[in-house]
Amino acid sequence: MATIHPEARTSVHPAVLVEDDVVTSATGRRWLAATRLATGFIFLWAFLDKTFGLHYSTGAAVAEGDPSLAWINGGAPSQGFMQFGTVGPLKDTFASTASVATDWLFMLCLLGVGVAVMLGIGLRISAVAGSVLMALMWAAEWPLLQGSTNPLVDYHVIYALVLIVCATLFAGDTWGLGRRWARLPLVQRFRWLR
What ranges do the domains of the chain cover? 26-57+65-193
155-168 vs 26-52: helix axis angle to the nearest 10?
A: 130
* Per-residue confidence (pLDDT) for residue 156, from 0 to 100: 95
Note the pLDDT of residue 1: 44
Contact 25, 102 (CB under 8 A): no
Tens digit of pLDDT per residue, the chain (194 long)? 444 444 445 555 556 789 999 999 999 999 999 999 999 999 999 999 999 988 777 654 444 555 668 899 899 999 989 999 899 999 999 999 999 999 999 999 999 999 999 999 999 999 999 999 999 999 999 988 877 788 889 999 999 999 999 999 999 999 999 999 999 999 999 999 99
Which pLDDT belongs to residue 129?
Answer: 98
Helices (H), the chain: 19-22, 26-52, 79-80, 91-97, 100-119, 123-141, 155-168, 178-183, 185-189
pTM for the whole structure? 0.87
